[in-house]
Amino acid sequence: MYQRILVPVDGVLLDTFNRRLCDLVVRAARDWPADLVVIGTHGRRGVGRLLLGSDAEQILRLSPVPVLLVRAQ
């Protein structure tokens, strides 16, 4: 049998045109007492990822706290 555990969460929506999103998310994780960063990802591979870059991958590498990536369907 499963036990339900309610976890309080806070959310932030970041959007930018003049800076990389990964830099904003990593800075927010450092400034805010975050325990976990949850972000969505397109799940691109190969040439698409090479051309567009991967903010999710950079956040995963640079975040001071654990990161949970949720892949789009």
58 domain residue, yes or no:
yes
26 domain residue, yes or no:
no
* All residues at 6 or more sequence positions from 21 whose CB lies less than 8 Å from its CB, including other chains: 14, 55
45 domain residue, yes or no:
yes
72 domain residue, yes or no:
yes
If we measure between CA atoms, which residue out of 42, 48, 7 comes closest to residue 21? 42
3 domain residue, yes or no:
no
- Better-scored residue on pLDDT, 23 or 40: 23
- pLDDT tens profile 7-35: 888 888 877 888 888 899 899 999 988 88
Segments forming the whole domain that contains residue 50: 38-73
Question: In the chain, how many domains are there?
Answer: 1
pTM (whole model) above 0.85: no
Sign of the alpha-carbon torsion through 39, 11, 31, 52: positive
